[in-house]
Structure 1
Amino acid sequence: MGTSTPLTEVDTFLKALAHPQEPTIRRLRAVVLAADPRIGEGIKWNAPSFHLEERHFATMQLRHTDRVLLVLHLGATKRAIPKGAITDAEKRLTWLGADRATWSASGVHDVDAHAAALQLLLRQWMAHA
């Protein structure tokens, strides 16, 4: 018998989650966590949220049933991303202001098709978080 890894707050949340996009949520979580080994996670705004050294920079939005949004933000402190600091080669970001944007996925296939570009975006974003 091997030892099992204890469930994290996010594991527990996802285990209880009844959402039509659950596979997309799980895949998106894995892609975000794989972007940088320093990324931590928790639950914020009733959804998985990601942080670097306790500074949250991305939180999923689970309101929609046909897609999952990843909200990129700069935490509670009001700051702005310098213009031109984020290269969005695939044009997948929807900017909501100078300090936040969303990235949308309509299914696991969508996350997989754009995983490398998303990880590049996340690494750029984290440099400002």
Structure 2
Amino acid sequence: MKAKTSNPAVLADSAGVDAYMQKLEHPLKGVLEALRKVILSVDSEIGEHIKWNAPSFLYTGEMRPFDPKEYKRYVIVSNVYQKDCIRLVFPSGAKINDTSGLLSGDYADGRRLAFFHNMEEVEAQEGALRNAVKSWLVLLDK
């Protein structure tokens, strides 16, 4: 059965992400904060909340009904389990025409990954990250 998730704006919880970030003890916390700032600045309908124990970024605008298990709203899920990098997981990254080299991997489920080991990589890849998010928004089934 196709269902529409509840009010998508309610899914966003920046205060919850702020609280998570205050408690986070990770050597690349500053990198994650910088990535968060870049991603949220791309479009006013990108929101954030904690999913799978890390900040995740989702589209909060209106969409056509879909099965919530398809996770169509999710742009990026961050992964902070490793201490040497911040991974950004793009669940639908295979659909993005990334020619910058930002997105890597060839996973059957369509996800692609971006890795950030330091602030220099955030600065060097900021344009590619913005373009990846913008490309995803264009492809979104609204």
Matched residue, 1:87: 97
* Structure 1 residues 128 and 100, CA gap change in structure 2 (3 angstroms): farther
After superposing on structure 2, the runs of 4+ consecutive aligned residues of structure 1 that deviate more than 4 Å are none
> What does 1:29-40 align with in structure 2 at a 5 Å threshold?
29-40=36-47
Unmatched segments (≥5 aa) in structure 1 = 1-6, 75-79
Match of 2:139, SS state, is coil
Q: Please report the TM-score for the alignment, with normalisation by the length of structure 2.
A: 0.73
Question: 99, 102, 112: which is aligned to 1:101?
Answer: 112
Cα shift readout 1:10-34 (whole Å, capped 9, x = no counterpart): 0000000000110101001011111
Any unmatched runs of 5+ in structure 2?
A: 1-13, 62-72
| Aligned mates of 2:104, 2:128 — CA distance in 1 | 15
| Residue number in structure 2 paired with 1:125 | 136
Give the whole-Å Cα distance in 2 for the aligned partners of 1:35 and 1:43: 19
Query: What are the within-5 Å matches in structure 2 for residues 1-20 of structure 1?
Result: 8-20=15-27
Listed one character per residue, the Cα deviations across residues 27-62 of structure 1 (whole Å, up to 9, x for unaligned) are: 010111111111000000000000102722211001
SS of the residue 2:115 aligns to = strand
Q: Alpha-carbon deviation of 1:98?
A: 4.8
Aligned length: 115
The TM-score with structure 1 as length reference comes to: 0.80
Between Structure 1 and Structure 2, the one with more strand by share is 1
The percent of aligned pairs where both chains have the same amino acid is: 30
Which residue in the other structure is 2:84 paired with?
66
2:100 aligned partner, one-letter code:
E
1:115 matched to 2:126? The reply is: yes
